[in-house]
Structure 1
Amino acid sequence: MIKRRIALAAGVAALLVGCGTTATPATSGDTTIRVQVSGEPGETAGYSAIAKAYEQSHPGTKVQLVPVAEKSDHLTRLSTAFAGGNPPDVFLINYREYAQFAARGAIEPIGPRLAGLGVDTADYYEQPISAFTYDGQVQCMPQNLSSLVVYYNRTLFAKAGVQAPKPGWTFEQFKEAAIRLTGDGVHGLGMDPSIVRLAPFVWSNGGDIVDDPQHPTRLTLDTPAARQTLESLVQLVRDEGAGPDRTELAGQDLEARFASGKLAMYLGSRRDTPALREVQNLDWDVAALPVTRKPAGVLHSDAYCVARKSKHHDEAARFIAYATGKDGQQITSMSGRVVPSLREVANSSAFLDPVKKPANSQAFLDGLPHLKSLPVLATWPEIEDIAGEELARAFHDGAPLDDVIKRIDERTRPLFASSDSTR
């Protein structure tokens, strides 16, 4: 992966407290809360800044930030900490992954506590609030949301004589561009063969990923619209050679290939922005996803949760109210990492800064009306892992698509049956 470095605006940089486990030394009578987040330094710098700013404005509470570079390690450490009875007071997690903790009562619902502090969820975008509502309560408070976008290399587009993507461009135009941009050591398209990347294309074609979004019992990749979408993408990436093969990816992953000018288009969320801002002489921007029948996007959102076993529920809630409020979200917006969940900040210059890449940050906001979320259930991370493993066989190993779809259904259906999908 690209070496991620801390790169924040001067106003944010002054607040940084580092990227290891960080805390201002506590004095007698101080309360210390542990906050665990995931991401490499370029991503977690904003959270360090929030922790420092909160300590300065809330004397008596110290924030011990625990950054974990890899998401898989973050989730493993959370599971181990909960099992051992010593979880962090606050942890940041994606909506597709928090249900495993909510289902066993490990999360203290944050909604009532934030309401008591005067936080009005109506000031936030509805999609992430809904995604973090489980068993009728807002469990965790979203600090961001993002749509999937197309990161594209402006230099490679110009060199190939391909017009830059415009809002509303079609799936056929997207495919044609990917093919024309492929050649001379460059691939036109980089996309992970994962459910979260494929879902918006399926939805745009009028299909669905599961049989019931609220209480799913199976994946529906075998339905006509979904299968047609998968077939088109497999043909584009594998048969047309528009995407790098498994051998090429083993040597350099998609993000690194895009950063080095070997990939013309790359599908990603706002999370990729901080690292790309640090790449010298890379002329890039973002565009909306192509449209087949109707615009569609997939929600990306992380939220702060409070561990039920924390001894500092009130202090944790006050920290979350700050981190997801105007001041906190302005800090993380300046880092480039997030699309703010608070409407006021999302539509401000803190996020829509015309000087910083991407120039077209508005594309993230334009896609919000079309966002859909993936299911929230305890076993969803395992379902995604299996689907990704099998889909990679179709995209990279030449496995027949129908065989892959059948294998996905056989391996994941028991996980739906065993999961608690209460919303």
Structure 2
Amino acid sequence: MRVTRGLVACVAVASVLTTAACTGDSSDPAPPEPSPSSTAPPDKLTFGVVGPRDVQRAFRATVDAWNLNPDTIDVTIQSWPTQAAMRSAIEQGTPVPDVFMSSRSDLAWLLENQYNQPVDELLDERGVEFGDTYSRDALEALSADDHLQCMPYGVTPTVIYYNKRLVNFNRMRNRGLDVPDEDATSWSFDQFTTAAEFASRPARGSKGVDIAATVQGLAPFIRSGGGTVFDDEDKPTSLAFSSDSSKDALERTLELLRNPQVTLDETQLDEASAVRWFLRGKLGMIAGDRSLTPVLRQKSNLDFDVMPMPKLDGASTVGDVTSLCMSAKTASPSLAADFMVHEVSADWVGLVASTGYLQPANVEVALSDDFLQPGRRPEHSTFFNSSVRSMSVPPLIDTLPELEETVAPSLRQLVYGVGVLDLDALTTQIDDESKPVLDPESASDTASPSESPSE
């Protein structure tokens, strides 16, 4: 049934494009001379996809449906398991596919290397409804230089996954503990702390929660408590962990995260990842996005659900936006845009979303059963959608992995350190460590003594 619906949509789109091509304004000036690369249509297009096997199979089905139409140019798939693997292949010389998946975190890299071209005008000409179908935040996240650089495809807000046997709200409620109401759409950090303490059962070897000791892991709590992660959201020169508002948020958060009775310690994390502890039924809560859902579903006896990130003051979470981009060197931007319209249609996004890994940026599909999947865990998939409204993305820079690596030892000390915490000194150290990564020129000027003027 899905393939039939998709083919109908594909034929309809092809019909619209054919009609549009025959109704051009004859008063337009003569077209510019074609570039050598566009004198003839290409024999085929390439489509670069990223994801686990189930996702790759779903994308292959969308491409097979496209290729069934004899009036469309054939598309072949190139696939990689991760975004990092695709980026590495391109950096090593693999040609950029005509249309390819990318994450917003790699947009600075794409722009710097001129790997992509804007898609807003091409897709607008083809009737793609940006404003009604996609959140403004997703569109803004993929915009630069006054153009939409790539088309939103998925979003990845971080939520809290919890083990319903360890974090049993009904039992907690019966004991008079502070828990969210049954129909609650948010919860406080105090309620989150209570749940973590309840799930920590030394006799059973379980711990309550794990939050990654990373910039991204701590960012939702800093923002929720009124702090800021970077000194500037557009062009940061430093982290802002040592600002008064950020320190206040961290102090409240670390009271829980530094409690070794409730959280996994470094020895346990050296033994196994937090996800592995959760799969074993030995961890009450873990932060993650939608892509974690199919992984947890593989454990048939694991009863889990999701809640939004807890609130210190206001709602806040972090995430990324995945997208479809167009190569700057595609031989036919027009044909590539036609294929992009096919791929972002509700039917085909729904097919990919049905694998469980993808949270669609398309609002229509995000509200459909393809994504919500009633009757399957997690029960409250709607919290993925509501979390998009409070999701922030990092600044548009290409040094975030290097930043995380640079401040990692200090962040581990912040979260896992024992003894008295000197929050002022450690947050200042973290900010100082970030400066050579985020603003290397200023850091170099500060580190080097000024030269005396030559005589």
**Normalized against structure 2, the TM-score is what?**
0.78
Counterpart-to-counterpart distance in 1, 2:169 and 2:378: 20
Match of residue 141 from structure 1: 151
Q: CA deviation at 1:214?
A: 2.3
Match of 2:430 among 408, 411, 418: 408
Counterpart-to-counterpart distance in 2, 1:226 and 1:42: 40
Match of 1:202 among 222, 239, 243: 222
- The DSSP-based 3-state class of the residue aligned with 2:326 is strand
Match of residue 47 from structure 1: 59
Structure 2 counterparts to residues 166-185 of structure 1, below 5 A: 166-183=184-201, 184-185=204-205
- State whether structure 2 residue 144 is matched by structure 1 residue 126: no
Counterpart-to-counterpart distance in 2, 1:389 and 1:66: 37
- Measured against aligned partners, the alpha-carbon deviations of 1:200-253 in whole angstroms (never above 9, x if no partner) come to 211111111112222322211111222233344444233333222222223321
Counterpart-to-counterpart distance in 2, 1:408 and 1:384: 11
- State whether structure 2 residue 400 is matched by structure 1 residue 380: yes
Supply the RMSD in Å over aligned alpha carbons.
Answer: 2.7
- Relative distance call for 1:160 and 1:67 in structure 2 (3 A) is farther
Q: CA deviation at 1:51?
A: 2.7
- State whether structure 2 residue 189 is matched by structure 1 residue 155: no
- Relative distance call for 1:313 and 1:285 in structure 2 (3 A) is same
Q: Is residue 350–residue 365 contact of structure 2 (8 Å, CA) maintained in 1?
A: yes
Match of 1:94 among 60, 78, 103: 103
- Relative distance call for 1:11 and 1:119 in structure 2 (3 A) is closer
Q: Is residue 31–residue 60 contact of structure 1 (8 Å, CA) maintained in 2?
A: no
- Measured against aligned partners, the alpha-carbon deviations of 1:76-96 in whole angstroms (never above 9, x if no partner) come to 223323xx7x22223222212
- The DSSP-based 3-state class of the residue aligned with 1:96 is helix
Match of residue 20 from structure 1: none
Match of residue 5 from structure 1: none
Task: For 1:151, give the aligned amino acid.
Answer: Y
Structure 2 counterparts to residues 64-79 of structure 1, below 5 A: 64-79=76-91
Task: For 1:155, give the aligned amino acid.
Answer: R
Runs of 4+ in 1 over 6 A off after TM superposition: none
Q: CA deviation at 1:266?
A: 0.9
- Measured against aligned partners, the alpha-carbon deviations of 1:58-103 in whole angstroms (never above 9, x if no partner) come to 754333333322443333223323xx7x222232222122212213
Match of 1:315 among 321, 328, 335: 335
- Relative distance call for 1:57 and 1:415 in structure 2 (3 A) is farther
Task: For 1:187, give the aligned amino acid.
Answer: K
- The DSSP-based 3-state class of the residue aligned with 2:347 is helix
Q: Is residue 83–residue 102 contact of structure 2 (8 Å, CA) maintained in 1?
A: no
Structure 1, unaligned runs of 5 or more:
1-9, 16-28
Q: CA deviation at 1:53?
A: 2.9
Q: CA deviation at 1:139?
A: 0.4
Match of residue 35 from structure 2: none
Larger of the two Rg values belongs to structure: 2
Match of 1:256 among 276, 286, 308: 276
Q: Is residue 269–residue 300 contact of structure 1 (8 Å, CA) maintained in 2?
A: no
- Measured against aligned partners, the alpha-carbon deviations of 1:170-225 in whole angstroms (never above 9, x if no partner) come to 10111121122112221111222222222221111111111222232221111122
Task: For 2:431, give the aligned amino acid.
Answer: D
Q: CA deviation at 1:389?
A: 5.1
Task: For 2:149, give the aligned amino acid.
Answer: Q
Match of 2:307 among 258, 283, 287: 287
- The DSSP-based 3-state class of the residue aligned with 1:114 is helix
- The DSSP-based 3-state class of the residue aligned with 1:266 is strand
- State whether structure 2 residue 395 is matched by structure 1 residue 395: no
Match of residue 363 from structure 2: 343
- State whether structure 2 residue 257 is matched by structure 1 residue 237: yes
- The DSSP-based 3-state class of the residue aligned with 1:175 is helix
- Relative distance call for 1:53 and 1:251 in structure 2 (3 A) is farther
Structure 2 counterparts to residues 23-42 of structure 1, below 5 A: 31-42=43-54
Residues paired across the two proteins, number: 392
Counterpart-to-counterpart distance in 2, 1:147 and 1:280: 25
Match of 1:333 among 346, 353, 371: 353
Task: For 2:232, give the aligned amino acid.
Answer: D
Counterpart-to-counterpart distance in 2, 1:158 and 1:138: 45
Counterpart-to-counterpart distance in 2, 1:318 and 1:324: 10
- Relative distance call for 1:305 and 1:391 in structure 2 (3 A) is same
Counterpart-to-counterpart distance in 1, 2:48 and 2:72: 20
Q: CA deviation at 1:153?
A: 0.8
- Measured against aligned partners, the alpha-carbon deviations of 1:235-292 in whole angstroms (never above 9, x if no partner) come to 4233333222222223321222212211111101111112222221111111111111
Counterpart-to-counterpart distance in 2, 1:135 and 1:50: 31
Q: CA deviation at 1:110?
A: 1.4
- Measured against aligned partners, the alpha-carbon deviations of 1:318-344 in whole angstroms (never above 9, x if no partner) come to 222222221221112211122221122
Counterpart-to-counterpart distance in 2, 1:393 and 1:48: 45
- Relative distance call for 1:78 and 1:409 in structure 2 (3 A) is farther
